[in-house]
Structure 1
Amino acid sequence: MKKESVIFNSRDGRFKKPTGAIRSGDVLELRIYVHSDLDPLGVRVFFLYDRHTQPALYEMDPAGTGAADGSYIQYETSFPVYDTGLYWYYFQIETGKGIINVGRDGGTGCMITGSPMSWQQTVYKREYQVPEWLQGGIIYHIFVDRFSRSAGYDELKERLKLAPTANSPERHLHHIWGQQPDYKPVNGRIMNNDFYGGDLQGIISRLDYLKKLGVTCIYLSPIFRAYSNHKYDTMDYMEIDPSFGTEDDFRELCEKAGGMGMRVILDGVFAHTGSDSVYFDREHRFGGGAYGDPESSYRDWYFFHPDGTYDTWWGIDTLPKLNKEDPGYRRFICGEDGVARKWLRAGASGWRLDVADELPVDFLEELTEAVKDEKPDALVLGEVWEDASSKVAYGQRKNYFEGNKLDSVMNYPLRQGIIDFVRGGHPGLLVGTVEQLQENYPPEVTSCLMNILGTHDTQRIITALAGQIPPGNASMDWMASAALSARERSEGRRLLKIASALQMTLPGVPCIYYGDETGMEGYRDPFNRGCFPWNDPDEDLVGWYRRLSMIRREHYVYRSGGYRTVQAIEGLYAFQRFLTEGDRERLEKGNMPADGGSFSYASVITAANCGGSAEELHLTGSWCDLLTGRVLCGNTSVLPGELMILEEAPGDILGQE
């Protein structure tokens, strides 16, 4: 075995304590092992605050040998860290032959290098508590027009009436629920002007279904008045779109869902409006809009140029970009009678913020303050596609997790890791993603992560797992005609069961995109936005999701429990969820979850083999497979395609027999 010159693992408590993100004021302890062959004369750590240009320098003290054979010298130091935000650190070793810099090798190990890659340290101080009601729950993401409708064709068609304009032609309603969405461009543009009639009363009529599925939080795609079927082109933030219903319908949904133990959160689209809106009014529908009136009260909400053009969101002229620095716009969204508070008062329990990285930090702080002041346990969750802890956008470090901005984010990195493992059998990306987020995110953030397998912006998960990978030049016609064969669908259902089990048991809160639990297929927009198949659901898959939700609901470790990788080899991935020290302290003090319920406090191991050969899972003690009832102990063979959810045998879980 190759001898390592330096040993340090930022995710191991023997080398760094506390591991992971730390609270402001915590004392950080660092320990590194240096092989005696390097003949070290001294070791120091360079610790750079993200908002400074010069690092702090801490000398490390020798503290004896770091290995049984005496081949390593142990160096350590400790110091308090106060300012919230990000820090970066690496080590420097002085030897008789010169200076050696030691940085991160991209994983958990070290690399001796001239220009070291630093380890990241997140520091936070919670100003607002994350919503406990979300922890351990299940989110259900509804694209409202395609979920369930309550009215007849004639009534629905009447709701859609809107005088057409040159840029906003007449909208139309599909006669048949479940027809393929329109996808062909008109005059070179995708209009998104076809509808199926899903509405708020339709959702209310399906609350029993959602309750049986284990849903605790309903996340609605935008519901405010807008021209399109997707509603991201807001026409009026203060009005429910007539095609969806009324404000009274929304209040009724929140009230009835709340009576069944489910909250409702809304999609906040605050980076742009529609061009066909009260505020911009390019179509001259309302009067007084910014586009045609330089004296409009909305004029400073947007970015106009001398030639009459305006800034748009990603070049889409129907989505004029908003000036989030404008005081008038900020008051409109964050003020006492602003958008954020109005809909919380109407019954919403929080906001998912569309393209959160396009919202300036101070705007986000003001918005969060308004939300938490109105409803302290409301959720503020951002759409971020990368590791959000170190996100930089538009030249600004976002520092989402300092404690005064986002409660949490959508977990897009996890989605790709799950697909990579389940479809290909390679656990490396998934394990690396989970462990990286565990290291970089505060635990409160992790417990509220929105763990997704599909959204309105991605392929349907069963298609991603078992469908053909679209060629680079795949046309809309190709995607419209592509469907899983009988063999692919059978394989896709099997793989979806594994993927959903990982989604349900990894740290965070699983979010089911409507219809994924029935195996809905589809490539990207609009094919991933089909109608829920109420007349032909896949009952076996729905039953599987219900079973997973019951396992999740009955085990306390899925609320805020810890995580550790048990095994990760080609084909096999196994991880354990367990009570943390904080969990134990709360439970021993009698601080039970506010929603009550009877929980198992046992540790749980999820193990999945997505490879082509049997692999040995190494277990200590006795474990019961919650899927089969088998009791396992010692080395256990996990067959190709096999999934296990193992609960530890009863014992000294909380210090009591």
Structure 2
Amino acid sequence: TVLQAYFEIHVPSPTRLQFSLSGAPSTVELRGEIDDWATGRQLTLVLNDVSGATFASDLDLPPGVYAYKLRVDRTWLLDPGNPRTRSMGENRNNVLVVDGTPEPLLFAPGLPFLARHLLGGHVLTALLRKGHGESLRVVWSEGREDTQALTPMIRAGEEREHLVFRLHLPTSTAGATFRFLLDNQTLVGQATDSLPFSIPKGSDPLPLWWQNAVIYTVFVDRFRPAEDHPSWTQDPGPDRPAGGHLDGVTRSMGHLTDLGVTVLHLTPVHRAMSCHRYDVIDPMEVDPSLGGEAALKRLLVAAHDRGLRVLLDFSLLHAGEGFPAYEAVRRDGPDSPFASWFQWREKRGRRVLKHYGGRRDAPLLDLGNPEVQELVVRTARVWTERGIDGFRLDAVAQVPIALGKRVRDALRDHVPDGVVYGEVVPEHAWRWHEAGVVDVATDFSFQGVMTAFVAERSIDARVAADRLATSVHTGGLPGARAVRFLSTHDHNRFATLCSVRGDPNRTALGMLLLAAAPGTPMLVYGEELGLAADVAG
């Protein structure tokens, strides 16, 4: 029979979210900005009787506006028990507002709605449901009644259901408070009693060395050998080692500093199965083929002598052949004491390992396993003790938030001004920043707009500007916390796309826009030379 579900959402405690359903669904998932749209979380059946079933999940959420949907037996459903929705493009989702405003406003005192401005004060972003006025003002005070001010917000955009307003609030004290004033003179504050919001008294500012950072990503195996030789120019082919070396990076420090690079990001240098080294064998050993620990030490000394900071790619999502726990499972199967270290699935009545992508030799680690988590944290400590300045945390959305926070804590324990740069593919990067997992994060929306506007010419300037403006209030991080780029080491280079889809001269325009855009620019090795492939993969 067709499932006719009726949902009632309520929060009986600060951490429990419950959904009451009529019918008898077998699986119910909560997906969206609470975790990730791609994976989500399985809800637990807590009550099942003649009236229906109740599913629940315990949550630990900081203040925010969380878009979500329910996936019931593989069918996406809106929650009709929660009238609060937000539409982005063609997608309409429910929203859960934690410690924020009631209707008709969407606002909560956290990113991306409340952000510290680099030059002082804070930037407020609020969404007003259409049909409830055409303007929005902020009533705010520095902590005393005689300092109260009324400031109009600026109309910054429009969504299908909401008008978007923004204001740089020039607060100078930590005790500042504010509420919103609608056209009908209604004051809107926190929750239904409209209490004033307070500017957070403390924050976690970015280290000064990051404020004007320029990142340069080096795929170590493909960058430069320990000593130059004629055969280096020959492409060994996909996934075949080229022979790059950490000493080759060290020999290039002069070029990087002349280029204006301040942060060097290295792809994984631990011992692994492949030349890209994301399929780990020993996460704590510097690969001898890259020069081992001595070569890494030389690189760090040379970089720090020139004022460069070094971020190391940190990835323990999947293993490769030679990883001891994987070898034990290959030998003993699901009965191995290490079986719980990995993810499994059912295939034709038996359990088989899940692997990364389409591979059969790259088992996915179960990052929820306590022993795996301890390995991850211990690995983070080992690398911080070697003198690095931070991590690039790979595929952040696939890392449990609590574990990601432990990795960042391990870094900060040893490197107080260290930075975790997160590869966050979902648009709601604020989720991982607010949870204390990352300090800065990738902005893939910028790359998408630049590819469409400059390389492909599939959109015009107005559409490009609208998409960039939208990305600011949909979840990207503000200012220097947003890492913007044209290329990554995982995708086709921007220069390649310009060449095969139109005009190679467009590459320079893209680089100009990257340099002029707010945020932290990131280059992939060779981009400064216009390095490109003959065909796009």
Work out whether 1:138 is the aligned partner of 2:172: no
Code of the residue aligned with 2:269 in structure 1: it is: I
Q: Deviations over 1:546-603 (max 9, x none)?
A: xxxxxxxxxxxxxxxxxxxxxxxxxxxxxxxxxxxxxxxxxxxxxxxxxxxxxxxxxx
Code of the residue aligned with 1:245 in structure 2: it is: G
Query: Equivalent of 1:377, from 383, 393, 417?
Result: 417
The residue aligned with 1:504 is 515
- Indicate if the aligned counterparts of 2:112 and 2:472 stay in contact, CA closer than 8 A: no
The residue aligned with 1:228 is 274
Alignment of 1:380-391 (within 5 A): 380-389=420-429
- Indicate if the aligned counterparts of 1:408 and 1:446 stay in contact, CA closer than 8 A: no
SS in 2 for 1:413: helix
Alignment of 1:162-177 (within 5 A): 176-177=231-232
**Aligned partners of 1:128 and 1:524: how far apart in 2?**
44
Query: How far 1:238 moved relative to its partner?
Result: 0.8
Q: Deviations over 1:440-474 (max 9, x none)?
A: 4576x4313221111222212212112247xxxxx
1:109–1:303 CA distance, 2 compared to 1 (3 A): closer
Code of the residue aligned with 1:290 in structure 2: it is: V
Alignment of 1:133-532 (within 5 A): 133-151=209-227, 176-183=231-238, 192=239, 194-281=240-327, 289-293=328-332, 298-304=338-344, 307=350, 309-334=352-377, 338-389=378-429, 399-402=431-434, 404-423=436-455, 424=457, 426-441=460-475, 445-468=478-501, 491-492=503-504, 494-522=505-533
SS in 2 for 1:351: strand
1:120–1:305 CA distance, 2 compared to 1 (3 A): farther
1:446–1:271 CA distance, 2 compared to 1 (3 A): farther
**Aligned partners of 2:493 and 2:379: how far apart in 1?**
32
The residue aligned with 1:285 is none
Which protein, 1 or 2, shows the higher relative CO under an 8 Å CA cutoff with sep ≥ 6? 1
**Aligned partners of 1:93 and 1:243: how far apart in 2?**
64
1:93–1:373 CA distance, 2 compared to 1 (3 A): same
If you compute each CA radius of gyration, which structure gives the higher value, 1 or 2? 1
RMSD in angstroms over aligned alpha carbons?
Answer: 3.8
Report the TM-score, using the length of structure 2 for normalisation. Answer: 0.62
1:358–1:46 CA distance, 2 compared to 1 (3 A): closer
**Aligned partners of 2:228 and 2:101: how far apart in 1?**
68
SS in 2 for 1:149: coil
**Aligned partners of 2:273 and 2:426: how far apart in 1?**
30
The residue aligned with 1:553 is none
The residue aligned with 1:646 is none
Q: Deviations over 1:181-220 (max 9, x none)?
A: 324xxxxxxxx2x222110011111111111111111111
The residue aligned with 2:75 is none
Code of the residue aligned with 2:262 in structure 1: it is: T
Query: How far 1:331 moved relative to its partner?
Result: 1.2
**Aligned partners of 2:259 and 2:462: how far apart in 1?**
31
The residue aligned with 2:58 is none
Query: How far 1:245 moved relative to its partner?
Result: 1.1
**Aligned partners of 2:226 and 2:211: how far apart in 1?**
32
Q: Deviations over 1:71-114 (max 9, x none)?
A: xxxxxx9x99557788995536489xxxxxxxxxxx82365xxx
**Aligned partners of 2:501 and 2:241: how far apart in 1?**
28
Residue identity (%): 24
1:314–1:196 CA distance, 2 compared to 1 (3 A): closer
**Aligned partners of 1:524 and 1:221: how far apart in 2?**
24
Which is further off, 405-414 or 417-426? 417-426
Q: Deviations over 1:224-274 (max 9, x none)?
A: 101211111111101111211111211221121011011111111122122
Query: How far 1:385 moved relative to its partner?
Result: 2.9
1:202–1:432 CA distance, 2 compared to 1 (3 A): same
**Aligned partners of 1:47 and 1:457: how far apart in 2?**
35
1:402–1:255 CA distance, 2 compared to 1 (3 A): same
**Aligned partners of 2:228 and 2:476: how far apart in 1?**
48
The residue aligned with 2:42 is none
1:436–1:80 CA distance, 2 compared to 1 (3 A): closer
**Structure 1: 5+ residue runs without aligned partners?**
1-23, 27-44, 60-76, 96-106, 154-174, 184-191, 282-288, 391-398, 470-490, 528-657
**Aligned partners of 2:99 and 2:420: how far apart in 1?**
34
SS in 1 for 2:307: coil
**Structure 2: 5+ residue runs without aligned partners?**
1-61, 65-82, 87-93, 114-124, 134-155, 167-196
1:421–1:304 CA distance, 2 compared to 1 (3 A): closer
* Paired positions, count: 382
SS in 1 for 2:521: strand
SS in 2 for 1:108: strand
The residue aligned with 2:3 is none
Q: Deviations over 1:280-318 (max 9, x none)?
A: 12xxxxxxx333246766432113468352122234222
SS in 1 for 2:318: coil
SS in 2 for 1:388: coil
Query: How far 1:379 moved relative to its partner?
Result: 1.4
Query: How far 1:118 moved relative to its partner?
Result: 8.2
Code of the residue aligned with 1:234 in structure 2: it is: V
